[in-house]
Amino acid sequence: MKKVARHPWRHRWRHSLRLRLITVFVLLALAMGVVFLGGMQRAFSTGWRDAARPLITDYMDRLVAELGTPPDVGRAQALATRLPIAIRIAGPQVNWQSHPDRPDWRNRPAFEGRASDWLSRSTADGHRVSFGLGTVAWQGGPHGIGWITLALLLALIAAAYVYVRRLLRPLDDIRAGAERFGRGVFDAPIPLRRRDELGDLAQRINTMAHDIEGMLDAKRGLLLALSHELRSPLTRARLNAELLPTTAQGTGAATGGGNRERAALLRDLGEMRDLISDLLESERLASPHAALQRESSDLAALVLETVADLPTAAGVVLDLAPGLPLIALDRTRMRLLLRNLLDNALRYSVDAAQPPRIALTREAGGVMLEVRDFGPGVDATQLERLTEPFYRTDSARQRATGGVGLGLYLCQLVAQAHGSRLEVRRCEPGLSVRLLLNL
């Protein structure tokens, strides 16, 4: 994280295909410009110089002849005024230069008096005449051309960025669509903006999402159908099991072992009934078309009713704030949530120092419900997975204490259906489950 904070642009460049494409475009443009300018300069410095040298040499000879012997300063001044050239004369009689206010020219080879310089000539009387460029109207042009070239290059880079961003816009749509599909939201497919490779990829992902949605719907339908079909024979089996002691007493065959077997059978049948009920309710709530039967309810009274219906919840501590406002709730689903949270807290409070606690407090915009136990709790690495379906901690996998892992998942679905979300926290000792119900 520190490395990302110190170099955010480097991190963004490494993880952005768009920025890397722009970088490649800029480097390619600069490389092409350097290669082009270098090649043109090389071509002009070799071929054109060799072609122009005889012409310039002959022209220099004519200019020196026009100055006379010894060189006439007046004629030199007239030439420097009429032509865009600078003239310097150095010798025993005349020492003169046409541009004395340009000291930077003194370092030019044309004014150093080198015998090999083809822009210099020696006269018969020992004078050295050197020529160079003078003040011309277009002398400041290269600077303006340089700034214009830079502006054009920046404009091309900006246009390339906009174009590449437009080309890669389907990637943003694909990323957003993948996030939606991962959350189980299939009602908004990825928009198809173009008919190219990215458009084809978006179409294939939409097809895949449609197939996944179909498989999920088929799984949900199969699970609902099986659950419905299992409820009837399960109810008959439980009824027959409850009638066993009466039949056995009539024949004088009732024993203590038979009663234990009957109790074990009824317990297993009850677990199967609760599992089927939870599966049906979870599939209903997980459906995007799940509807709640909301009505103004007193949450504190609903808590008291739920605690009273659980025989094992007699010792639960109630901390219910007075004067709580009425909330629009689905009473059946909220009672299911309270029962599961209480059952979960009681299951892991068998050897705890304190009984579970239920608290209702007034919060900004709603009522906060908290169910806390003082049991062993869970490991921090397992905390975020407690609301996943069929997930059980290692300690919960024991047959005597653990369920099938649907309790907190079902509570999460009920909370989400009411516009809230479960917040599971470690309390040392124990575990706290909270949710805020908005008014």
Could you give the percent of the chain with pLDDT greater than 90?
Answer: 10
Per-residue pLDDT, averaged over 343-361, amounts to: 87
- Please write the tens of the pLDDT for every residue from 226-267: 666 677 777 777 777 777 655 444 444 445 566 777 777 777
* Residue 113 region by backbone torsions, left for phi larger than 0, else alpha for psi between -120 and 50, else beta: left
125-134, 154-163, 410-419, range with greatest mean pLDDT: 410-419
Q: What DSSP string describes 106-127? A: GGSGGGTT-TT-TTEEE-TTS-
Say what the pLDDT of residue 326 is: 92
**SS3 for 140?**
coil
Question: With the C-alpha atoms ordered 183, 185, 186, 189, is the resulting torsion angle positive or negative?
Answer: negative
Q: How confident is the model at residue 210 (pLDDT cuts 50, 70, 90)?
A: confident
352, 314 contact by CB (below 8 A): no
Q: How confident is the model at residue 153 (pLDDT cuts 50, 70, 90)?
A: confident
Say what the pLDDT of residue 367 is: 93
User: Looking at 196-205, 322-331, 360-369, which range is the least confident one?
Assistant: 196-205
Exposure string for 70-108, b = 16+ CB within 10 A, e = fewer: bbeeeebeebbeeeebbbbbbbeebeebbbeeeeebeeb
Better-predicted residue by pLDDT, 220 or 374? 374
Q: How confident is the model at residue 139 (pLDDT cuts 50, 70, 90)?
A: low
- Between CA 56 and CA 119 the distance in angstroms is 8
pTM of the entire predicted model: 0.50
- Please write the tens of the pLDDT for every residue from 29-41: 778 777 877 777 7
Six-digit token string for 238: 């439980």
- The Cα-based distances of 384 to 347, 395, 406 in angstroms read 20, 16, 15
435, 299 contact by CB (below 8 A): no
Q: With CA atoms as reference, report the closest residue to 355 among 363, 364, 347.
A: 347
Residue 86: its H or E element: strand 85-90
- Please write the tens of the pLDDT for every residue from 123-137: 888 888 888 776 555
User: Rounded mean pLDDT of the chain?
Assistant: 77
Residue 213 has what DSSP assignment? H
- Between CA 72 and CA 95 the distance in angstroms is 11
- The Cα-based distances of 436 to 23, 329, 363 in angstroms read 49, 12, 8
CA dihedral 175, 178, 180, 183 (to 10 degrees): -130
144-148, 163-167, 413-417, range with greatest mean pLDDT: 413-417
Residue 163, pLDDT > 70, answer yes
- Please write the tens of the pLDDT for every residue from 56-115: 888 888 888 888 888 888 888 888 888 878 888 888 888 888 877 765 555 554 444 443
Q: How confident is the model at residue 141 (pLDDT cuts 50, 70, 90)?
A: low
294, 404 contact by CB (below 8 A): no
- Please write the tens of the pLDDT for every residue from 392-413: 775 544 444 555 677 888 888 8
